[in-house]
Amino acid sequence: MWWSYEEAAEAKERVQREIEKRVKRGERFEALMPVAGKKHLCTTFWGKAWCNHLESYQEFESRLPRGRSYLRQGSVYNLNIEPGKITAMVAGAELYHTQIFIHSLKVSKWQDIVEKCEGQVDSMLDVLAGKLGNGVMSVFCDLENGLFPKTKEIRFDCSCPDHADMCKHVSAVLHGVGVLLDASPELIFTLRDVNGADLLSKAKDAAVSELSAMGGELAEADLSAIFGIEIGEMDQPVKKSSEQ
């Protein structure tokens, strides 16, 4: 039910003028832009994993692809992720407010994930870079019991007239989450309302003994980053090789 090309172009210009006016008034409008010229919207482990997961949503299969071109055109603004909630503005025939509500990950499910990863996660940086072994990464991405939401855990709302079904704007924002995860993968933990650092807590003791065995090759700064503590708090101070 789209209008003629001229009418669509006119609407687009009108919305752009509206955005410019609001920017002049001091409002923030940050367009989310996928990397141009790439076949796929997302380029990193987490971005791709999110988009792959979207493709598993049979219920939304016919509607989900509609938002991709919106996203590629830079029509998604101010995408924000907080625990259980994604918000954005999308430039369509008008400027629409889009909200997506995602259930927090059940505590028991998160505990299962943490247990399955026990002893295998030494650094949050590896988690965020998607650099752990396939075993751990597939725990995160498991369709049933992983970190990504199932369709029944998703509710959405858009100020456009098509809001009863999944509109182009909701679809664009859902894909936009993948693009945002490329830049800020830690937001997957924020969105599902879990503490990613829980993955490290049980690995800590094992990692410390492994480190002792290595003769303290890691610099103290690295250790602080890994465990989020001052080195002085540890029982066994790490000696530099030269002191041994």
Q: Which residues bind Zn ion (CB under 5 A)?
A: 158, 160, 167, 169
Judged by beta carbon, residue 76 or residue 167, the one nearer Zn ion is: 167
Which residue in 199, 209, 218 sits closest to 140, CA to CA? 199
* Residue pair 74/33 in contact by the 8 Å Cβ criterion: yes
At its nearest, how many Å lie between Zn ion and the CB of residue 157?
A: 9
C-beta neighbour count of 28 within 10 angstroms: 9
At its nearest, how many Å lie between Zn ion and the CB of residue 159?
A: 7
At its nearest, how many Å lie between Zn ion and the CB of residue 96?
A: 5
Judged by beta carbon, residue 126 or residue 162, the one nearer Zn ion is: 162
Residue 133: phi and psi, rounded to 5, are: -60, 160
CA angle 214, 215, 220 (to 5 degrees): 100
End-to-end CA distance of the chain: 76
Which residue in 192, 147, 158, 132 sits closest to 53, CA to CA? 147
At its nearest, how many Å lie between Zn ion and the CB of residue 148?
A: 22
14 burial (CB, 10 Å; 0-12 / 13-18 / 19+) is middle
At its nearest, how many Å lie between Zn ion and the CB of residue 169?
A: 3
Judged by beta carbon, residue 123 or residue 171, the one nearer Zn ion is: 171
At its nearest, how many Å lie between Zn ion and the CB of residue 95?
A: 11
Judged by beta carbon, residue 86 or residue 158, the one nearer Zn ion is: 158
Q: Most distant CA pair in the chain: distance in Å?
A: 78
Judged by beta carbon, residue 168 or residue 192, the one nearer Zn ion is: 168
- CA dist., res. 85 & res. 239, Å (int): 46
- CA dist., res. 177 & res. 184, Å (int): 10
Judged by beta carbon, residue 158 or residue 226, the one nearer Zn ion is: 158
